[in-house]
Amino acid sequence: MAKKKQNKAKSKVKAAAKKSARKVTKLASAKKGNGNGSHLPKASNKPWGKAGKALEGVKILDFTHVQSGPTCTQLLAWFGADVIKVERPGVGDITRGQLVDVKGADSLYFTMLNHNKRSITVDSKHPQGMRVLEALVKTCDVLVENFAPGALDRMGLTWERINKLNPRMIVASVKGFGPGPYEDCKVYENVAQCAGGAASTTGFREGPPLVTGAQIGDSGTGLHLALGIVSALFQRNRTGRGQKVLCAMQDGVLNLCRVKLRDQQRLKAGPLTEYSQYGENVPFGPTVPRAGNDSGGGQPGWILKCKGWETDPDAYIYFITQAPVWGPICDIIGEPTWKTDPEYATPRARLPKLKAIFRRIEDWTMTKTKFEVMEACNAVDIPVGPILSMKEIAEEPSLRKTGTVVEVDHPTRGKYLTVGNPIKLSDSISDVRRSPLLGEHTDEILKDVLKFSAKDIAEIKNSGALSAPKKEEKAA
Ligand code: CAO
């Protein structure tokens, strides 16, 4: 009997040794990286685009609303993350009901920012709601939020609490401002454009500051946040722990206005010669001025009228008098003598005359449509940019072909156009799936993701934590 026991113990030790040897071999081969010297697994031999998505397996607790946060989580969803959008019961993301164009359907504002996500409704201020949220914190890899400063803490989800519940969780936030005098302020797109230096440097010198149509404060910051999250996930592979990721909208806008801070410092060395105001003999003040349609780089550029400008507000072209193609520019506009005339031949000689030069180029562009100008100029490498209207962009076949502009079907609003993933990965191809209806996936998330039992689900549901408060309760 004793011998039998001994033999059993011996074979157990042998099996364990075998197992650990296998482990060592496995580690060694991973170290050797299958002969390529890296720690990467063997290169997949699946067809391109069939080896799963880039962020497959990553679960996102998406506590975002309006535009900045949803832009970020939509990108992560396009790369394959499972994005679970938590919304307030009965209301949801406020944009569902903003700028409504189809009565009773989610607005384009919402649908165009929330593709490929799932929606669960949870009242975060209800104890049973907090039970669901805590389960989500424990299950997910990343929590993304863009509430007003302090709102997440007021819910009880402080960094300390989240970190205790799930030390691996990355907590990513958009705020209007970073730490400092304005950190408690609520911020929207144009506030950020103004505070980040975009508005003071946009517009014409003679006019007021101008905001731009591109949502650099909201969508721009969402993009920054997505990069922060992916970097934190990458670092977590080494450290095993989460971290906080903060993107302040002011910082994001300033990052996009980098060249203007460059120019602010260049002012110390004298006037900014590439700004048209230099050529016009208008003195520079202590701050970077608005530069109209001047180019932000070292090559002078301006927007010029094209054929049809009298009736078409977008019949214009951006024309750059890039020094290396000055010869072809002179030929194309019919001023070949400017190539050798010392008054025009060098960029320095042209600087004080840029306004007149652009007027002469415009005489030529006005004889052609913006597309004809583009064709003629690109044939000789002169960089130009047609001013495309949103209508033209929406109808552009090449953008449809690449999936940058996509038609999506939606159960309550029907077909609509959206902008697909602008970042193309050859082995992680994005499909654009419609945005979720409010709470559409509540049941499947409770059951399949959080593994709550039927009894628990019934208890949570009966508590009212997942549904809109009844009208009488609201009034009370
Ligand atoms: N259940 C219960 N309550 C919820 C909830 C849920 N599921 N989701 C949100 N709430 C509550 C929050 O807890 C908060 O309550 P308290 O103020 O009582 O703590 C409340 O909803 C409102 O949140 P909010 O302050 O973030 O929303 P707001 O509409 O007042 O402000 C915004 C909106 C965008 C100005 C603000 O969120 C903000 O400054 N965010 C950071 C910057 C940002 O992203 N701005 C860009 C927005 S896109 O233009």
Nearest CA owner, ligand 1 atom 9: 88
Q: pLDDT 10s per residue in the chain (476 long)? A: 444 555 555 555 455 545 544 444 444 444 444 555 678 999 999 999 999 999 999 999 999 999 999 999 999 999 999 999 999 999 999 999 999 999 999 999 999 999 999 999 999 999 999 999 999 999 999 999 999 999 999 999 999 999 999 999 999 999 999 999 999 999 999 999 999 999 999 999 999 999 999 999 999 999 999 999 999 999 999 999 999 999 999 999 999 999 999 999 999 999 998 898 998 899 999 999 999 999 877 789 999 999 999 999 999 999 999 999 999 999 999 999 999 999 999 998 998 899 999 999 999 999 999 999 999 999 999 999 999 999 999 999 999 999 999 999 999 999 999 999 999 999 999 999 999 999 999 999 999 999 999 999 999 999 999 998 776 544 44
Nearest CA owner, ligand 1 atom 10: 88
Cβ–ligand 1 distance for 161 under 6 Å, the answer no
Query: For 350-446, where are the E strands, in sequence order?
Result: 384-386, 405-408, 416-419
Catalytic residue among 93, 123, 218, 251: 218
Active site residue 431: no
* 151 Cα to the center of ligand 1, angstroms: 7
Nearest CA owner, ligand 1 atom 49: 188
Cβ–ligand 1 distance for 177 under 6 Å, the answer no
User: What number does the ligand 1 atom closest to the CA of 185 have?
Assistant: 39
Exposure class string for 246-256: b at 16+ Cβ within 10 A, else e = ebbbbbbbbbb
Cβ–ligand 1 distance for 147 under 6 Å, the answer yes
Cβ–ligand 1 distance for 303 under 6 Å, the answer no
* 175 Cα to the center of ligand 1, angstroms: 11
Please give the Cα distance from 248 to 232 (Å, whole number): 17
Say if residues 287 and 265 touch (Cβ distance below 8 Å): no
User: What number does the ligand 1 atom closest to the CA of 125 have?
Assistant: 2
User: What number does the ligand 1 atom closest to the CA of 186 have?
Assistant: 39
Cα 85–Cα 60–Cα 178 angle in degrees, nearest 5: 90
How far is CA 128 from each of CA 60, 131, 465, 468, 473, rounded to the nearest angstrom?
Answer: 21, 5, 6, 14, 18
Q: Which of 297, 298, 294, 303 is nearest to 276 (CA)?
A: 294
Question: How many CB atoms neighbour CB 175 within 10 A?
Answer: 26
Say if residues 49 and 430 touch (Cβ distance below 8 Å): no
Cβ–ligand 1 distance for 17 under 6 Å, the answer no
Q: What are phi and psi of 144, to 5 degrees?
A: -115, 130
Q: Put the strands of the sheet holding 170-175 in their side by side order.
A: 117-121, 82-87, 59-63, 142-145, 170-175, 244-248
Cβ–ligand 1 distance for 66 under 6 Å, the answer yes
What one-character-per-residue DSSP string does 272-337 give? -TTSHHHHTTPPP-SSPPP-TT--SSSS-EEEEE-TTTTT-TT-EEEEE--GGGHHHHHHHHT-GG
For residue 389, the one-letter residue type is S
Query: Crossing angle, helix 354-365 and helix 326-333, to 10 degrees?
Result: 50
